[in-house]
Amino acid sequence: MIGWRAAVRRATGGLVSLRPGEEEMRHRTAVASVQRSLRGPKTIVVVNPKGGAHKTTATLLTAATFGVHRGGYVLAWDNNETRGTLGWRAVAARHTNTAVNLLHDLERFADVRSARVGDLDNYVRSQGSAQFDVLASDEDSASAASIDADAFGALHRTLSRFYRITVIDTGNNMRASNWQAAIDAADQLLIVSTVREDTSQSAAWMADALNKSDRGDLVANAVTVLADPADTVDKELRKRLHRHFGALTRAVLDVPHDPALVAGGPIAYDALAPATRRAWLQVAAAVAEGL
């Protein structure tokens, strides 16, 4: 029980227990959706071919929400072909290994009888109480390493043996082979945009391109997230975006601006405002319903 009903129950030592209100029922329904049983490992791909569209934040908060409410075996993976920012926004680990290091050592995990999830600890970064891991992209500014479609496939096959849910952050190049490979592996697309003309037009253009490339079913089943870029937002634009993406995708949800996300440092789930956590729970629930 949450809110003032919970306060009444505590104040009366449980003698007065009111029926759950509408908000609590919505919360319970969302948690049940997130915790639903899945038929095998599932892959969620977060997309918008424009920088600054909220993709990395969406990847981390979606993974955190699933981790908190499901209890682990969730991975957030930066599938940028070169350098991405997921590792920078995550809680640091004792190592700085990335997807490139894991790819080089993938043979260690070839034997399904002996490989264990704990063996991944030297490659992924645990996010503590949020109960999910992060696999960063290459962070060496002098490196020429990159991940292509074949590398993505090899990593994805291995990681799917250890994680029930993988949330993939994508780069900005739709023509990159690893971007295309992630789309082909997706069980669910999460289309993300800030409530701005430029990021929303990029998302709409991408959806049209996917529809033209025989991925219409994936787009139709997608969830769209519209993130407020500031405390004040263009309400007319948001309405227009709801109409547009509502006609393209299965669900359109809003997430509020949160000062805890502004600095650009590691994202702490517990530092988010309650309204932000509630909004991302609804996002995760909508995503889960499509898995």
pLDDT of 277: 97
- CA 285 to chain CA centroid, nearest Å: 12
pLDDT of 4: 47
pLDDT of 115: 85
Position 8 pLDDT exceeds 60: no
Q: What is the mean pLDDT of residues 129-153?
A: 84
Q: How confident is the model at residue 147 (pLDDT cuts 50, 70, 90)?
A: confident
Position 6 pLDDT exceeds 70: no
Contact 227, 58 (CB under 8 A): yes
Contact 208, 241 (CB under 8 A): no
Closest to 168 (Cα-Cα) out of 91, 78, 71, 100: 78
pLDDT of 139: 75
DSSP codes joined into one string, 143-195: ------HHHHHHHHHHHTTT-SEEEEEE-S-TTSHHHHHHHHH-SEEEEEEES
Q: Whole-angstrom Cα distance, residue 102 to residue 124?
A: 9
Interval 223-268: pLDDT, tens: 999 999 998 999 999 999 999 999 999 999 999 999 999 888 899 9
Q: Whole-angstrom Cα distance, residue 257 to residue 117?
A: 35
DSSP codes joined into one string, 219-231: HHT-EEEEE-SSS
In the block, which residue shows the tokens 């977060």?
46
Q: Whole-angstrom Cα distance, residue 53 to residue 194?
A: 6
Q: What is the mean pLDDT of the chain?
A: 91
User: What are φ and ψ of residue 121, in 5° steps?
Assistant: -60, -25
Q: Whole-angstrom Cα distance, residue 158 to residue 109?
A: 7
Three-class DSSP category at 93: coil
- List domains and CATH numbers for the chain: 41-289 (3.40.50.300)
Closest to 34 (Cα-Cα) out of 261, 286, 231, 239: 286
pTM, whole model, 2 decimals?
0.91
List the single range of 22-26, 71-75, 138-142 with lowest mean pLDDT: 138-142
Q: What is the mean pLDDT of residues 274-281?
A: 97
Angle at 253 between CA 248 and CA 258, to 5 degrees: 140
